[in-house]
Structure 1
Amino acid sequence: MRAMPLAVLSTRIRPFLAALSDAWVSFGRNDGLAMASHVALSLVIALFPFLVCVAALAAFLGAGRISTHIVHLLFDVWPEGVAGPLAREADRVLVPKRNVLTISVIITLLVATNGVESLRVALCRAYGTARSRPWWRARLIGIGFVVGGAGALVAASVLVVLWPSIWRAAGFYVTDLKSVRLTYDLVRYALASIVLVAGLTAAHLWLVDTRAPLRDIAPGIAATLVLWLAGATLYGEFLARVTHMKATYAGLAGFLTALIFLQISAAIFIFGAELNAALRSRRRVPGEQVPPAIVAERAALQQA
């Protein structure tokens, strides 16, 4: 009686483990680490111009004093050793200046959309999808991601600021809420998680030239979140125990720790897309084309 559930569980887990193996091999064949380095460097270059745009947008909307909350939302989920130096510099960048809105938008369009484009290239390679969009359409999508990301950070930061008043007003109408306390930190982490999940979902849905249903990209997003949480925790512990980074890299230590963390994050992000592609390949109906990396990997396994 007890063997049946284990047999059913094994039957369901085995295809997923096989897909994990396919994804790992495909990650290597598609130069996943090299693409992760490219994505990480592009994101580092795009980060502070993006923050300038966020500050200008917040000032334009009359919410220029929420820069501290924006920094918390952006860096709270990062390891302390990475977030600390970047957050201090971000505080200097996030100064409300209405007159730099146009300039910051131009800089962001030139720089930040390159970060979005690097993500698109990595996703298309992982999914085995040809890049068929015109360059101007790809750039417009990149602009949409930059503006949407900035707007999401500003909106979430405003919600964090207004949260105590919102909760008190809700408690006035629903008395049971008065006994429930949602702390500032809990709300902040929850909103940061929502922004992260929304960003991942949007990237998998709209950056790839071929649209996939949500159920097909959900496994990769879930794997990305789990692996990223584990990777961020381990990297944070590593930075806490290693003391020679500043002695080795001097003033570049903060930059390099951030670059390494973003490379780890980008590799996990790409692997999530590879996992989705591997799962889709194993569900593929007869007659559909299988990605070449998976075909080569299966042939190598058969020869071994």
Structure 2
Amino acid sequence: MLRNIVAVKRVLYDALGHFNNDDGWAMSSHLAITALMALFPFLIFATTLGSFLGAQAFAQTAVHIVFDTWPEQIAEPISREVLRVLTVQRTDLLTYGVVLAAYFASNGIEAVRTSLNRAYRVTETRGFLLRRAQSLIFVLIATVGFLVISVLLVFAPLIARLAEQRFEWIEPYMGTFTLWRFIIASTVIVLGLFAVHVWLPAGKRRFVSLIPGILFTLIAWLIGSTVFAAYIDHFSSYVTTYAGLASIMIAVVFLYIVSAIFILGGELNAAISRYLEARARVGG
């Protein structure tokens, strides 16, 4: 028991110490701002591509996937404005505007890569063009994934009604459409976390070694989001301080918290791996 406590203390000290000494707070700011700046270009690019391919309901689906897992107080004003932007008719899929939108969206992927390289204590050896191509592929994969989910959500109510008619016992397990939408959004987040931890940082990591940091990230995100939402409801003075900019400032602070937790997840994985390697060397 004592040995386990000592091991946990060593791992936490290593993770938190490296996060603090390697400018983790500054990297959280960088990741939060870059993510916010990349969000609109990504959604514009993805929505334009979705409309081009005939997925007219894509805008609402994309907004739900992105914002359904945010606290309502933070997501509602931002998602409303995002949806307003996305519903503007665009026919410039193959023009420079949408190409640039995809490029700027990939900047968010690059920020995640930089954060994870620092967290995992690895040096990037891949060339700029290869990294940027990989980031653009991530953007395209995310877009295609959103398109598939958009189609599924369009047909989901019909499929649910048919299933309930043929199998009455399934009705209590179907839940509401909102619940399934939340489940889908959560699944996208989990798969996305595994994808970025596996492929973005330099080097290779075993799948099992990623689980602790990802579990920490998901649990800490849930706790952090709940606490921050409660703070906004009861104690926040953002509205009086920032007036019309309040929703943006709230989103920035929220993304800062989310980014810090995300980086700490990578730090935790790296610290556990270092501890296990050290224990293996001494035969313990």
TM-score past 0.5 threshold: yes
Say yes or no: does 1:211 pair with 2:200.
Answer: no
Say yes or no: does 1:42 pair with 2:30.
Answer: no
Whole-Å Cα distance in 2 between the matches of residues 46 and 117 of structure 1? 10
Equivalent position amino acid for 1:275 in 2:
L
Deviations 1:120-177 (A, max 9, x none): 0110011010010100010011101111122222322322221122223344555532
Q: Percent identity?
A: 37
Q: Which of structures 1 and 2 has the bigger CA Rg?
A: 1
Q: CA RMSD in A?
A: 2.0
231, 235, 242: which one aligns with 2:224: 231
- Per the TM alignment, residue 40 of structure 1 is displaced from its structure 2 partner at its CA by 0.7
135, 160, 173: which one aligns with 1:167: 160
Please name the residue that 1:59 is paired with: 51
Q: Contact 1:60–1:98 (CA<8 Å) still a contact in 2?
A: no
Deviations 1:73-130 (A, max 9, x none): 2111112222122111111122274512224531223311111111101100110100
Deviations 1:52-79 (A, max 9, x none): 0121122122111242232222111112
Say yes or no: does 1:252 pair with 2:245.
Answer: yes
**What does 1:1-304 align with in structure 2 at a 5 Å threshold?**
7=1, 11-12=3-4, 14-95=6-87, 97=89, 99-103=91-95, 104-171=97-164, 174-284=167-277
- Higher mean alpha-carbon deviation, 263-272 vs 111-120, is at 111-120
SS of the aligned residue for 2:104 comes to helix
- Flag structure 1 segments of 5+ consecutive residues without an equivalent: 1-6, 289-304
SS of the aligned residue for 1:212 comes to coil
Q: Contact 1:39–1:115 (CA<8 Å) still a contact in 2?
A: yes
- Higher mean alpha-carbon deviation, 225-234 vs 142-151, is at 142-151
Using the size of structure 1 for normalisation, the TM-score is 0.86
- Higher mean alpha-carbon deviation, 253-262 vs 265-274, is at 253-262
SS of the aligned residue for 1:101 comes to coil
Q: Contact 1:58–1:96 (CA<8 Å) still a contact in 2?
A: no
Whole-Å Cα distance in 2 between the matches of residues 246 and 175 of structure 1? 49
Q: Contact 1:160–1:187 (CA<8 Å) still a contact in 2?
A: no
Q: Contact 1:73–1:157 (CA<8 Å) still a contact in 2?
A: no
Q: Contact 1:224–1:269 (CA<8 Å) still a contact in 2?
A: yes
Whole-Å Cα distance in 2 between the matches of residues 258 and 213 of structure 1? 34
Q: Closer, same or farther in 2 for the Cα pair 1:82/1:284, shift >3 Å? A: same
Q: Contact 1:219–1:276 (CA<8 Å) still a contact in 2?
A: yes
- Higher mean alpha-carbon deviation, 115-124 vs 243-252, is at 243-252
SS of the aligned residue for 1:283 comes to helix
- Higher mean alpha-carbon deviation, 151-160 vs 247-256, is at 151-160
Q: Closer, same or farther in 2 for the Cα pair 1:12/1:100, shift >3 Å? A: farther
Whole-Å Cα distance in 2 between the matches of residues 168 and 208 of structure 1? 44
Q: Contact 1:42–1:118 (CA<8 Å) still a contact in 2?
A: yes
Q: Contact 1:40–1:259 (CA<8 Å) still a contact in 2?
A: yes
Whole-Å Cα distance in 2 between the matches of residues 44 and 133 of structure 1? 26
Equivalent position amino acid for 2:66 in 1:
L
Q: Closer, same or farther in 2 for the Cα pair 1:260/1:116, shift >3 Å? A: same
- Per the TM alignment, residue 251 of structure 1 is displaced from its structure 2 partner at its CA by 2.2
Runs of 4+ in structure 1 deviating by more than 6 angstroms, as ranges, are none
Q: Contact 1:79–1:232 (CA<8 Å) still a contact in 2?
A: yes
Equivalent position amino acid for 1:234 in 2:
V
Using the size of structure 2 for normalisation, the TM-score is 0.91
Total equivalences in the alignment: 280
Q: Closer, same or farther in 2 for the Cα pair 1:17/1:159, shift >3 Å? A: farther
Q: Contact 1:219–1:275 (CA<8 Å) still a contact in 2?
A: yes
SS of the aligned residue for 1:209 comes to coil
